Structure 1
């Protein structure tokens, strides 16, 4: 695959970079793409085997990679992740958080436990990761943070996804807040907002015929390339945005 080496010399942490099944998830694709673009990559996932599988792809392609098992909802493990990254590669330039837990249920049906779980994975884990890496980025003169949200944070996508939608909407707003709070440290914070995806686990469900103006659903690589742009110096003047990657779906129902 052709590469412009847009991340040459950078160190990137990708949270949720494993895959629970066959095929490509957004985290797995993002980690491999960062490596192909020259970054030294830290692959973080709650499943050690999944993290190692992604890391092995990067190694076989000649990239430098470190696999770190990490439950991103545990602040102690996330601090360890940041510390191991600095120990191995001396810096942190990029953080890409791809975690997504599609908890289902209407407002009147979703349990308190599921509600808390949705916010723990979809929001609090990203905040915890940002808190761990921002001081390191600031000390190094800047960095880029990319969080992955969902169009469910913008519009009703069909299924009963109250907790998922609310947690991802909160993630969008946290991205805006962090962007303005840390702009002075040259740390950019942006959000990718995917629509229907061929990942096998799209929280928005399956697209109905004709639902996508561009005529197809997206895949993990569409999200990964959006994250790559926001992580790269090509987006040096871009912060606090939500980059929607949905084939035009929200133009129809937004």
Structure 2
């Protein structure tokens, strides 16, 4: 019960219907939201997909936790503001914010249009800025933690040609550090997790194309120094630490959770 008595807002916390036949992969946002709830947090799941948000909250309530599903586009300031207000009203305040919204887009300068480039930055970077803008006034009332889900792709080549995604996540890293120092003396901690090769539905929805699921898993596992992909719960456990009092003196940190992938030169 490391988050007992606290309210956590997880943007991108919905669980979409699994696009891989086995259905074994869960999203990072889902894993974080359900893990937080199991550790006592009243958890507000924000997602632009109402059904996805509802699936996560159903899981939370099934295990005896407190959850609330809220529909909002994380890049829309008005919608995020309304979602935050609903969370604060429902659970009397806000203590933890997780930014888990993200999307990849394959292709470099020769393949992407400027509009596609900007759209990728909006989903991955603007969402974090908008979240901070709308949640900081509430976090400042009693102190709190922001956890941003970034990627090892922000600091290393991971084998996929998605420079827009990599650039956006690199910007998330520096935004994390900037906010951490700006609010360090005001009771707010801001950290980021650099997620490596994680087995999530996003992989099969955005990166696998028409490839066989087993082949995709084998290929990604081979890219990891450990010989296996991580799971969404590996990221969730790191987020739980960063959100808890155990990380009370940790801020401005970029924590790789990638099986050592960030240590490789290429």
Cα deviation code 1:169-196 (max 9, x no counterpart): 0000000000001111110000000111
3-state SS in 1 of match to 2:230: coil
More moved, 84-93 vs 198-207: 198-207
Partner of 2:189: 188
Partner of 1:179: 180
2:228 matches 1:216: yes
- In structure 1, list runs of 5 or more residues that go unmatched: none
CA distance, structure 2, for counterparts of residue 20 and residue 8 of structure 1: 27
2:56 to 38, 50, 54: 54
3-state SS in 2 of match to 1:149: strand
CA RMSD of aligned residues (A): 1.4
The alignment's TM-score, normalised by the length of structure 2, stands at 0.90
1:90 to 86, 89, 92: 92
Kept in 2, the 8 Å contact 1:147–1:191? The answer is yes
Kept in 2, the 8 Å contact 1:151–1:193? The answer is yes
2:40 matches 1:44: no
Kept in 2, the 8 Å contact 1:137–1:187? The answer is yes
CA distance, structure 1, for counterparts of residue 232 and residue 41 of structure 2: 19
CA distance, structure 2, for counterparts of residue 76 and residue 250 of structure 1: 37
CA distance, structure 2, for counterparts of residue 147 and residue 204 of structure 1: 22
3-state SS in 1 of match to 2:44: strand
CA distance, structure 2, for counterparts of residue 6 and residue 156 of structure 1: 35
2:165 matches 1:153: no
- In structure 2, list runs of 5 or more residues that go unmatched: 19-24, 209-215
CA distance, structure 1, for counterparts of residue 239 and residue 70 of structure 2: 21
Instruction: Assess, with a 3 A threshold, how the Cα gap between structure 1 residues 111 and 235 changes in structure 2: closer, same or farther.
Output: same
Kept in 2, the 8 Å contact 1:55–1:67? The answer is yes
Partner of 2:264: 252
* Alpha-carbon shift at residue 145 of structure 1 (Å): 0.2
Written as runs of structure 1 = structure 2, the 5 A alignment for 1:93-108 is 93-108=95-110
The alignment's TM-score, normalised by the length of structure 1, stands at 0.94
Alignment length (residue pairs): 249
* Alpha-carbon shift at residue 107 of structure 1 (Å): 2.3
* Alpha-carbon shift at residue 215 of structure 1 (Å): 2.4
CA distance, structure 2, for counterparts of residue 158 and residue 72 of structure 1: 28
2:117 matches 1:118: no
Runs of 4+ more than 4 Å apart: 203-210
